[in-house]
Structure 1
Amino acid sequence: MTDAEDARAELLRLRGSIDNIDAALIYMLAERFRATQQVGILKAEHEMPASDPKREEQQVARLRALAE
Protein backbone atom coordinates (compact mmCIF):
# COMPACT_ATOMS: atom_id res chain seq x y z
CA MET A 1 0.00 0.00 0.00
CA THR A 2 1.07 3.54 -0.66
CA ASP A 3 1.05 6.26 1.94
CA ALA A 4 -2.08 7.72 0.35
CA GLU A 5 -3.84 4.33 0.47
CA ASP A 6 -2.81 3.87 4.10
CA ALA A 7 -4.14 7.34 4.90
CA ARG A 8 -7.46 6.62 3.18
CA ALA A 9 -7.81 3.33 5.06
CA GLU A 10 -7.07 5.07 8.36
CA LEU A 11 -9.56 7.80 7.49
CA LEU A 12 -12.26 5.19 6.85
CA ARG A 13 -11.44 3.47 10.15
CA LEU A 14 -11.62 6.74 12.07
CA ARG A 15 -14.88 7.75 10.38
CA GLY A 16 -16.37 4.37 11.27
CA SER A 17 -15.38 4.95 14.87
CA ILE A 18 -16.98 8.41 14.81
CA ASP A 19 -20.16 6.95 13.32
CA ASN A 20 -20.31 4.34 16.09
CA ILE A 21 -19.81 7.00 18.76
CA ASP A 22 -22.56 9.14 17.20
CA ALA A 23 -24.97 6.18 17.28
CA ALA A 24 -24.13 5.47 20.92
CA LEU A 25 -24.67 9.13 21.85
CA ILE A 26 -28.07 9.21 20.15
CA TYR A 27 -29.09 6.01 21.93
CA MET A 28 -27.95 7.41 25.30
CA LEU A 29 -29.78 10.70 24.72
CA ALA A 30 -32.96 8.78 23.89
CA GLU A 31 -32.59 6.76 27.10
CA ARG A 32 -32.04 9.97 29.07
CA PHE A 33 -35.14 11.53 27.51
CA ARG A 34 -37.24 8.50 28.49
CA ALA A 35 -35.95 8.71 32.07
CA THR A 36 -36.69 12.44 32.31
CA GLN A 37 -40.21 11.81 31.00
CA GLN A 38 -40.73 9.24 33.75
CA VAL A 39 -39.44 11.70 36.34
CA GLY A 40 -41.95 14.28 35.08
CA ILE A 41 -44.83 11.80 35.26
CA LEU A 42 -43.84 10.69 38.76
CA LYS A 43 -43.58 14.28 39.99
CA ALA A 44 -46.95 15.17 38.46
CA GLU A 45 -48.67 12.11 39.95
CA HIS A 46 -47.35 12.93 43.42
CA GLU A 47 -47.74 16.72 43.16
CA MET A 48 -44.02 17.26 43.54
CA PRO A 49 -42.39 20.49 42.33
CA ALA A 50 -41.37 20.40 38.69
CA SER A 51 -37.94 21.82 39.41
CA ASP A 52 -35.41 21.10 42.14
CA PRO A 53 -32.92 23.98 42.26
CA LYS A 54 -30.63 22.19 44.72
CA ARG A 55 -30.46 19.08 42.49
CA GLU A 56 -29.89 21.25 39.41
CA GLU A 57 -27.02 23.05 41.15
CA GLN A 58 -25.44 19.73 42.15
CA GLN A 59 -25.80 18.40 38.61
CA VAL A 60 -24.18 21.47 37.06
CA ALA A 61 -21.24 21.14 39.46
CA ARG A 62 -20.93 17.40 38.79
CA LEU A 63 -21.05 17.83 35.02
CA ARG A 64 -18.56 20.68 35.09
CA ALA A 65 -16.17 18.49 37.04
CA LEU A 66 -16.62 15.68 34.51
CA ALA A 67 -16.01 18.06 31.62
CA GLU A 68 -12.73 19.21 33.11
Structure 2
Amino acid sequence: MSEEDPIKTLHRLRSSIDNVDAALIFLLAERFKCTKQVGELKAEHGMPASDPPREEQQVARLRTLAEDADLDPAFAEKWFNFVVAEVIRHHAEAADGR
Protein backbone atom coordinates (compact mmCIF):
# COMPACT_ATOMS: atom_id res chain seq x y z
CA MET A 1 0.00 0.00 0.00
CA SER A 2 1.39 3.39 -0.98
CA GLU A 3 1.02 6.16 1.56
CA GLU A 4 0.99 9.87 0.77
CA ASP A 5 4.02 11.82 1.91
CA PRO A 6 3.21 13.22 5.39
CA ILE A 7 4.30 16.72 4.35
CA LYS A 8 1.97 16.61 1.33
CA THR A 9 -0.83 15.34 3.55
CA LEU A 10 -0.19 18.16 6.01
CA HIS A 11 -0.30 20.77 3.22
CA ARG A 12 -3.47 19.25 1.77
CA LEU A 13 -5.20 19.25 5.15
CA ARG A 14 -4.07 22.79 5.94
CA SER A 15 -5.36 23.95 2.56
CA SER A 16 -8.77 22.51 3.42
CA ILE A 17 -8.67 24.23 6.81
CA ASP A 18 -7.77 27.54 5.14
CA ASN A 19 -10.73 27.17 2.77
CA VAL A 20 -13.11 26.48 5.65
CA ASP A 21 -11.72 29.46 7.60
CA ALA A 22 -12.30 31.73 4.59
CA ALA A 23 -15.87 30.48 4.23
CA LEU A 24 -16.50 31.06 7.95
CA ILE A 25 -15.26 34.66 7.70
CA PHE A 26 -17.54 35.41 4.77
CA LEU A 27 -20.47 33.73 6.53
CA LEU A 28 -19.84 35.73 9.70
CA ALA A 29 -19.66 38.93 7.66
CA GLU A 30 -23.02 38.09 6.08
CA ARG A 31 -24.49 37.30 9.50
CA PHE A 32 -23.32 40.65 10.87
CA LYS A 33 -24.82 42.48 7.88
CA CYS A 34 -28.18 40.97 8.84
CA THR A 35 -27.81 41.63 12.55
CA LYS A 36 -26.84 45.24 11.81
CA GLN A 37 -30.19 45.68 10.09
CA VAL A 38 -31.91 44.07 13.07
CA GLY A 39 -30.12 46.49 15.40
CA GLU A 40 -31.16 49.49 13.32
CA LEU A 41 -34.77 48.27 13.28
CA LYS A 42 -34.74 47.74 17.04
CA ALA A 43 -33.20 51.17 17.64
CA GLU A 44 -35.74 52.84 15.37
CA HIS A 45 -38.63 51.27 17.24
CA GLY A 46 -37.24 51.43 20.78
CA MET A 47 -36.85 47.68 21.12
CA PRO A 48 -34.28 46.27 23.55
CA ALA A 49 -30.89 45.26 22.16
CA SER A 50 -31.12 41.82 23.74
CA ASP A 51 -33.85 39.20 23.27
CA PRO A 52 -33.22 36.48 25.90
CA PRO A 53 -36.08 34.16 24.82
CA ARG A 54 -34.82 34.23 21.20
CA GLU A 55 -31.27 33.61 22.40
CA GLU A 56 -32.40 30.61 24.48
CA GLN A 57 -34.23 29.16 21.47
CA GLN A 58 -31.16 29.62 19.31
CA VAL A 59 -28.87 27.98 21.87
CA ALA A 60 -31.14 24.93 22.03
CA ARG A 61 -31.36 24.80 18.23
CA LEU A 62 -27.62 25.17 17.74
CA ARG A 63 -26.81 22.56 20.40
CA THR A 64 -29.01 20.08 18.52
CA LEU A 65 -27.39 21.00 15.20
CA ALA A 66 -23.97 20.59 16.79
CA GLU A 67 -24.85 17.14 18.09
CA ASP A 68 -26.11 16.15 14.62
CA ALA A 69 -22.85 17.44 13.10
CA ASP A 70 -20.71 15.62 15.68
CA LEU A 71 -19.52 18.93 17.14
CA ASP A 72 -19.29 19.56 20.87
CA PRO A 73 -22.59 21.29 21.77
CA ALA A 74 -20.89 23.20 24.59
CA PHE A 75 -18.44 24.64 22.07
CA ALA A 76 -21.29 25.62 19.75
CA GLU A 77 -22.99 27.39 22.65
CA LYS A 78 -19.80 29.22 23.61
CA TRP A 79 -19.34 30.35 19.99
CA PHE A 80 -22.94 31.55 19.82
CA ASN A 81 -22.67 33.45 23.11
CA PHE A 82 -19.49 35.13 21.89
CA VAL A 83 -21.16 36.23 18.65
CA VAL A 84 -24.35 37.35 20.39
CA ALA A 85 -22.39 39.48 22.86
CA GLU A 86 -20.87 41.34 19.89
CA VAL A 87 -24.27 41.67 18.22
CA ILE A 88 -25.83 43.09 21.39
CA ARG A 89 -22.96 45.56 21.66
CA HIS A 90 -23.67 46.70 18.09
CA HIS A 91 -27.39 46.95 18.83
CA ALA A 92 -26.75 49.04 21.94
CA GLU A 93 -24.48 51.36 19.92
CA ALA A 94 -27.21 51.72 17.29
CA ALA A 95 -29.71 52.62 20.01
CA ASP A 96 -27.32 55.15 21.55
CA GLY A 97 -26.83 56.73 18.14
CA ARG A 98 -30.55 57.46 17.75
Q: TM-score range by the shorter chain?
A: 0.7 to 0.9
Residue aligning to 1:31:
30
Distance in 2 of aligned mates of 1:63 and 1:47: 28
Distance in 2 of aligned mates of 1:28 and 1:62: 18
Please state how far the C-alpha of 1:34 moved relative to its aligned partner: 1.3
Deviations 1:10-63 (A, max 9, x none): 111111001101111111111111111110001111222322222111011111
Distance in 2 of aligned mates of 1:7 and 1:51: 48
The structure with the largest alpha-carbon Rg is: 1
| 1:42 and 2:41 matched | yes
Amino acid at match of 1:59: Q
Amino acid at match of 1:32: R
Distance in 2 of aligned mates of 1:8 and 1:26: 27
Residue aligning to 2:59:
60
CA RMSD of aligned residues (A): 1.8
Amino acid at match of 1:39: V
TM-score, scaled relative to structure 1: 0.81
Amino acid at match of 1:30: A
Percent identity, aligned pairs only? Answer: 73
Aligned residues: 66
TM-score, scaled relative to structure 2: 0.59
Is there any run of 5+ residues in structure 2 with no aligned partner, and where?
Answer: 68-98
